[in-house]
Structures are given as structure tokens and as C-alpha cells.
A and B are shown apart, each in its own frame.
Chain A
Amino acid sequence: MSRQTSRIADPKKVNSELFNLTYGSLVSQLVKDYENPEDVNKNLDRMGYNIGIRIIEDFLARTNFPRCGDMRDAADKIQQAFKMYLGLNPSIGNWSGASDEFSLTFETTPFAEFVELPDSCSNLKYANILPGVIRGACEMVQIEVQSWIQQDTLKGDNVTEIRVRFIKKLEDAMPAGED
């Protein structure tokens, strides 16, 4: 049973260039407004958080996955979500000893195909919206995580790496009947 009612896919699909341009203009406007790249990073993370808390319901409504038992499960679902929403295929790896920390590795920074960071913004994290999305989405299913950009191709690294670390399960926010 797939959704096909009002989702005749083609008219609703947007050219990815338009999406890259939109995100780029968003980041550049934030840089102009805030001037300090650290503030821009924080704001991107916050915007990502707001997206995350909403997109999780869409993800659950479309896929009907059950609750994740551990971080390996969660990592797998996050990977599927990237595929579903952005058509990207990050690889999962760099697991910590206790299996509560992992990395999503992209070949290049998402949305940044034609981007070069100027010298004044050398510590700007261009795709910082993504860790925010991961954090917001996980929080809505009662998993508190910390998420940050570990490596960035825009800064000269080989790959772009987003690291996700499990902090704790939000027991008191758990809906009744699921423990």
C-alpha cells in the first residue's frame, strides 16, 4: 500500500539545483545577519531541530517502522531516512566500543556541490542543519542524542562525517505502554 492519492510524484518533485540554491541563499543570508559564524552554526542547528521534530512523524507515517531497540537499529533507520528524503547514501561506521556512537559518512557535504567557504567563514559548518534534524527527530522518539559534524570536505577533509552519540533514553516522555 503506497501513497498515491495526492502524491502524483512528478509535479511535486523539485529540481535539486533549486534546493541547493535555496539552502545556499539561506546560509548566506544567515551569515550576513549574524556575522559571527558560530552564531550561524547554532542557528542552523536550531532550524534543523525544528525540522527534525516534524519530519519524524512524516517518516513514521510513511514507513510504520517499530521502535528502535538500540543504536544500530537507529543508525539503520537514519540511513534510510537520508535515502528517502534526500536521495543520499551515507555509510555507517566508526562504532564506539559500547555501540552507542557512530558516524554517517558522505563523500561530499550535502547541498554543497558548488560551494567554497570564504576565509572569513572558516569555522562555518555549512551543513549544520543535518545534525539538528537528527537530534530533533530522535528526541521525538524519546532518544536523546548529541550530533555534530566531525569532518567536512569544504574544509579540506577527505569525507564529510556526521557523528551521532547516544546520551540517554527519555523515560519520562515515553508514551504509555511502551517500555
Chain B
Amino acid sequence: MSIHSIYIVSKSGGMIFNYDHNYPKVETERTFNFPLELKLEVRNKKLIVVFGGQKDAVCAGQTLLSINGKPICEGPILEDGTNVVEFLTNEANFPTSLKFGKSRMSTNEKMFLGSMFYPLYAIASQISPEPHSSGIQIIEAENFKLHCLQTLTGVKFILITDPKFVGVDIVLRRVYEIYSDYVLKNPFYALEMPIRCDLFLENLKLLLEEVEKFGISYK
């Protein structure tokens, strides 16, 4: 029973808050010899495994995260500026320890996806054969479930959890209560703007930890 992440979309459709709680980390670190049995390609300034590897270890789709413990930045280059592609084609650098994993979404990518949710929600309510239908409430996939609560004011709270999670409605309502307390009662918070309230984040973390440890408490 774990909660992966929370997104809050404002009534005008922009994502105003995102928090990754228990985002499952998929990382493998191994020592590799020259030549690499993986085919790597640069995409979006990151080095991605295109072909090769086994399903349970390093496999296609994963990104090169670090070399010998040193993290890789956009480029792809190392922090000291060494070009990673050149590094990996030079036999003298091997054997070297490489860490591959699923790269986290950048904030921009998250905002983009979060903002895509708003029109999808609207389409769902319009496609419905019955009138007065709500929008998307649950999206179910093999490895996760996405739940959405839309308030009367148009703010959407989106929770991404593992498929076995029970009692999401209560969690969503609690998040709504915490939002109405720590965000809206902060006079320095302007409506529709990204939420940067520490108290809100703290209390949200407490709520999520409590839910994960003790299950849903009917308070």
C-alpha cells in the first residue's frame, strides 16, 4: 500500500503542486568492461539504453545516471565537463562502474503532463453518453492507479498509488482539508500560483506517512 505521488491542478488547468512520496527507484550499478554490450544513444541530452541488456537488470529505456559514482548532468557530461560519449568510447577508461536507472521527470515535464490532465478530464466528461457526468476519476494501469478528486471550485487533486491501495477517497479529502488550511489561509499565497508553502508540504508528508503506516484512519 504505497502512495507514489501527488499532483494538484488549479482551476485554470496549470499544475500548481507536485510531490513524489514513494517513487519506486529503479537503479542498477554494475562494473562494465570494454566494449559495452549495451547500445547507448543520446536523446534529450541524456544517454539512453536503446538495445541490449537483460529484462531484470539494465535494459532498454533506462538512462545512464552516473559513472564511478559521479552523477551525469545534461549534455550528457560529467560535473567536471568530460563528455560522456567520448569517455565511454575510450578503452582506457574501462573497467568502469556505471549506474543505470529510470530517470526522474524534470519539473517542466511534470508541469506539462499535469497540465495535460485538465483537457483530458474535460474530454472524459463530454464523451459520456449520460449527461452530467463527472470527468476522469480513476485511471488504472498494470503498476499504478491514478485517482482524481475535483472540488466544486475546479481544483483537482491527483493521487498516484499502487494498484492495491484502498480508501483513496478519504486520503484525497484529507489532502483537500490540508490544502484549505495551510495554503489558502496563508495570506501571502496568491490563488492559482504554484504552491510553495513549507507548512503544507510538511503536513502533507505527515499525512502520507501516517496513511502508509497505519492504513486509512477514520478520523
- Point out residues on A near B: beta carbons under 8 Å: 1-5, 53-58, 60-62, 64, 66-67, 140-141, 173-179
Contact = CB atoms under 8 A, between A and B. Distances in A.
A58 B218 contact: no
Contacts, number: 75
Given A61-B176, A177-B133, A3 B153 contact: no
B132 A61 contact: no
Interface of B: 11, 118, 121-122, 124-126, 132-135, 150-155, 170, 173, 176-177, 179-181, 184-185, 191, 218-219
Contact of B132 (A5, A54, A55, A179): A179
Contacts of A58: 180-181, 184-185
Nearest to B176: A61
A58 B177 CA distance: 7
Nearest to B203: A6
Nearest to B125: A177
Contacts of B173: 61, 64
Contacts of A57: 151, 153, 155, 176, 179-180, 184
A176 B150 CA distance: 9
A173 B11 contact: yes
11 contacts: A1-B218, A4-B219, A54-B184, A57-B153, A57-B176, A58-B184, A60-B152, A61-B177, A175-B11, A175-B150, A177-B132
Chain A interface mostly: loop
A3 B177 contact: yes
Contacts of B118: 176
A54 B185 contact: yes
A10 B141 CA distance: 46
Contact of A177 (B11, B134, B155): B134
Contacts of A177: 121-122, 124-125, 132-135, 150
Given A57-B151, A58-B184, A64-B173, A176 B135 contact: yes
B153 A56 contact: yes
A22 B138 CA distance: 46
B7 to A, nearest CB: 16
Given A3-B177, A54-B185, A176-B125, A60 B151 contact: yes
